[in-house]
Amino acid sequence: MGLTINDAGMTAADSGDADPHAAQTDDARDTSARPHIRSFVLRQGRVSAAQRRFHEEGMPRWGIPYQTTPLAWAAVFGAARASAPRILEIGCGMGETTALIAANHPQNDYIGIEVHTPGVGSLLKEIETRGLTNLRVIQHDAVEIARDMIAPQSLAGIHVFFPDPWPKKRQHKRRLIQPAFVHELAQRLVPGGYIHCATDWQEYAEQMLAVLSAEPLLENTAADYAPRPDYRPQTKFETRGLRLGHGVWDMIFKRLA
């Protein structure tokens, strides 16, 4: 145990077993030059032999290194895919859902973002074993990726499925769905593009709904919460939440012209 693969650009050891729903500490230091939401903590954790192997072999093939300039999607997926709708998933976890969505929608191109090596290893395994050509992975902080790598009006969709709820009041600043980040995400959608958030934490659902509703670039596709659309399979964290008796709330907002 304790085998750790360094995350690109990150100094701390990471964790495959960290439970984002468990109590989380506030002691991780934000070492970035410009302060922004720090929505995760990298802890020492276990990477299985298979995850390590798929990570080592898969990253050079299916991984995209973090960069501080906008990503050329055509260079990643090929010129023939120039008109394919582009969808970003933030916080893929172990990636089963991400891979299933990509497999079920070959007409779209997907980039999954995750910071934890075990999850990235699992996602790379899914890409390899399913032979997916429309899914790539970036192992880096999604806040920095959205800021630096995603051009305005370039995405058809953004998925944020069961982001860490950071349940304690003093941890709320770590939540991803906050006004400034949502505005940044909305700017990266094409007009008519969507952002789909889901959570099993009622009070965070209420915050998400308020933040998304207050964003002038966005319009709710439902009166408030949306029914789960067919394209979103039940995720690993959703399954866990349901087992604990939690509810599930989906929100799908579209970018105005």
Ligand X SMILES: C[S@@+](CC[C@H](N)C(=O)[O-])C[C@H]1O[C@@H](n2cnc3c(N)ncnc32)[C@H](O)[C@@H]1O
Query: Least Å distance between CB 94 and ligand X?
Result: 7
Residue 86 vs 175, nearer CB to ligand X: 175
Q: Which of 55, 86, 116, 175 binds ligand X (CB under 6 A)?
A: 116
Query: Least Å distance between CB 159 and ligand X?
Result: 8
Q: How far apart are CA 113 and CA 120, in angstroms?
A: 8
Q: Which of 66, 162, 194, 204 binds ligand X (CB under 6 A)?
A: 162
Q: Is 63 in the site for ligand X (CB under 6 A)?
A: no
Q: Which of 4, 24, 40, 185 binds ligand X (CB under 6 A)?
A: 40
Query: Least Å distance between CB 243 and ligand X?
Result: 13
Strands (E), the chain: 86-90, 109-113, 135-138, 155-161, 189-199, 218-220, 249-255
Q: How far apart are CA 77 and CA 75, in angstroms?
A: 6
| Token representation of residue 23 | 């109590």
Query: Least Å distance between CB 15 and ligand X?
Result: 9
Q: How far apart are CA 135 and CA 210, in angstroms?
A: 31
Task: Specify the amino acid at residue 58.
Answer: G
Q: How far apart are CA 64 and CA 140, in angstroms?
A: 10
Q: Is 141 in the site for ligand X (CB under 6 A)?
A: yes
Q: Is 20 in the site for ligand X (CB under 6 A)?
A: yes
Q: How far apart are CA 131 and CA 125, in angstroms?
A: 10
Q: Is 121 in the site for ligand X (CB under 6 A)?
A: no
Question: Could you say which of 14, 141, 164, 200 is catalytic?
Answer: 164
Q: How far out from the chain centre does Cα 177 lie?
A: 12
User: Does the annotation count 164 as an active-site position?
Assistant: yes
Residues that bind ligand X (CB under 6 A): 20, 39-40, 90-93, 113-116, 119, 141-143, 161-164, 235-238
Catalytic sites, residue numbers: 164
